[in-house]
Amino acid sequence: MSGAGNTTTTNEVAIPGFKQIMGHPAPLWMLFMTEFWERFAFYGIRWALVLYIVAQFYAGSGAGEGPAGLVYGAYLALVYAGAVFGGLVADRVIGYQRSILIGAAFMAAGLFMITVPNEDFFKLGLATIIVGNGLFKPNISTMVGKLYALADTRRDSGFTIFYMGINTGALIAPVLTGYLAEKYAGPGAGPAYKAVFFAAGIGMLLSLVWFYFGRRQLKGIGAPTPEAQSPMRMVWVVLGALCAIPVMYALLRIEAAKLQVVLSVLFVILAIMLVVEGVREGKVARDKTIAMMIIFFFNIMFWCFFEQAGSSFTFLADKIVDRQLGTFLFPTAWFQSVNSIAVIVCAPIIAAIWVMLGRRNNNPSIPRKFGLGILFNGFAFLLLMFALGSLVNPEGKIPFWTLFAVYVIQSIGELCLSPIGLSMVTKLAPTRLVGLGMGGWFLATGIGNNLSGIFASHASGSAGMSAATALGAYTQGFYILMAGGVLLFLLAPLIQKLMHGVK
């Protein structure tokens, strides 16, 4: 364990003695706040994107919903896929701290760009956010892992705390930006989306400033290696990022199926790069990399179904859930916050459970935690099957509590899997390619997101969602998740062996 004044090593990297605050290295809290503001920006605009596209570029016509959904799906998939390049840049070119700073600056620029009401400029702005996020998101996550020695049992709970920062930002942002959109709405002009995007841009600048001044606390962790010090490298990265913007712009416009092909090819290339590097580092590193790749596969499955939360569950909430609570109609959009609240409430409990089990040497292995995550996701679909099969009232609606509980159950699954996955990558990826490994994790998430859109359209059928189409799709979802979870439990001993003692 890295205590103050000692120096411990993880892989090849020395960990300086950090001051400990609330049982964790002090820089964890700085990274927490940096990520809080970045997620504030990210989730501050997320709810508004499709609504804005339809209102601004399709004059509010329903015909705009399809194209808006397409752009939104591609944006989410690319935001996560962009992490592959960001991770590689940090590993090989300029280190983690500088990547985070450049990424934050690009993200802020993109957020201000989308305030301009021109469709092409808007998409270029989204492309800029994608590029910035790619440089920022995987690398800040990797930095968290770099604060702990390999054998430090606090690592998973450190990531779970970091995850609370993510969700606190995700919770507050829509509330604030939603308020601003209403407050500055012109008479008869609809919500003021410009205020939403502008507030998010300010949030991103705060993240940049927070990290800029806070990074001193890192005592050199994530700083460029001696050969990567040259400022010219920064110039090349900025130029490369600028060139990536039109590429992302073009990818934002292609169909989900074609994007799936692009992402899959990228995934194969990345897997080869990681395994080749693993082999180069020796048999143990090779096995660990293979174990990580197997887990990535299950990660795709998890997010494909989890992300129904933002797509098909929204139609469900809108049309098939009885949202009338006495005289109050619970807004559809508010279901999005249930996830963040559940994560914030449950994260400390789950982190404490891992630490407690760890003390008794009973902490479930990584694949088992993943298996639990997938099973919980499956239980959420089981509840939906029950609700849609047996609880539909004469008006064709299911009770409010069922969807509410679905979001909570999914969040418990997310906590068994998502922070653990981030933590896992920092333990299993080849030492010289941890950033790329993190990129792979987010690419898998991106692929899951893209597939989730395809599954969501299946759940809606060709004529829009009905209780019957939803029941059919969610029943399939349940069986796929159960099969995945059980398979992972069966494979757990083998994967554990490949991990060579990593817990």
Site of interaction with ligand GLN (CB under 6 A): 39, 166, 303, 418, 445
Answer yes or no: are the C-beta atoms of 271 and 293 closer than 8 Å.
yes
- How many angstroms separate the first and last alpha carbons of the chain? 15
Query: Least distance (Å) from ligand GLN to the CB of residue 137?
Result: 7
Supply the minimum distance, in Å, between the C-beta of residue 373 and ligand GLN.
Answer: 12
By beta-carbon proximity to ligand GLN, the closer residue of 168 and 363 is 168
In the bound complex, what is the minimum distance in angstroms from residue 440's beta carbon to ligand GLN? 12
Q: Is 219 strand, coil or helix?
A: coil
Min separation Cβ 286 and ligand GLN, Å: 26
Give yes or no for a contact between 197 and 47, defined as CB atoms under 8 angstroms apart.
no
Q: Which C-beta is closer to ligand GLN: that of 166 or that of 342? A: 166
- Answer positive or negative: Cα dihedral of 295, 300, 301, 305: positive
What are the angstrom distances between the C-alpha of 412 and each of 250, 336, 406, 428, 460?
A: 37, 15, 10, 24, 26
Residue (311 or 418) nearer to ligand GLN, CB? 418
Q: Which of 240, 151, 176 is closest to 37 using CA atoms?
A: 176
Tell me the C-alpha distance between 472 and 466, whole Å: 10
Rounded Cα gap, residues 442 and 448, in angstroms: 9
Nearer to ligand GLN, 128 or 449 (CB): 449
Phi, then psi, of 2 in degrees rounded to 5: -90, 105
- What does the DSSP 8-state code read for residue 191? -
- Closer of 39 and 427 to ligand GLN (Cβ): 39
CB of 9 to ligand GLN, least distance (A): 29
Q: Which is nearer to ligand GLN, 249 or 303 (CB)?
A: 303
Q: How far is the CB of 405 from ligand GLN (least distance, A)?
A: 19
The tokens for 184 are 């500055």
Minimum CB distance to ligand GLN, residue 74 (Å) = 15
Strand, coil or helix: 397: coil
Provide the minimum distance between the beta carbon of 446 and ligand GLN in the complex, in angstroms, as a whole number: 8
Q: Which is nearer to ligand GLN, 47 or 303 (CB)?
A: 303
Q: Locate all alpha helices (DSSP H) within 429-463, ordered by sequence.
A: 434-460
C-alpha to C-alpha distance for 406 and 54, rounded to whole angstroms: 29
- Measured from the CB atom, the residue of 57 and 72 that comes closer to ligand GLN is 72
Query: Distance between CA atoms of 486 and 296, rounded to whole angstroms?
Result: 16
The CB-of-136 to ligand GLN minimum distance in angstroms stands at 11
CB of 202 to ligand GLN, least distance (A): 19
Longest dimension (CA), the chain: 70
Q: Is the distance from CB of 328 to CB of 468 less than 8 angstroms? A: no
Distance CA(231)–CA(93), nearest Å, equals 11
Q: Which is nearer to ligand GLN, 163 or 381 (CB)?
A: 163
Q: Between 81 and 471, name the residue whose CB sits nearer to ligand GLN.
A: 81
Angle at 161 (CA atoms; ends 351, 271), nearest 5 degrees: 90
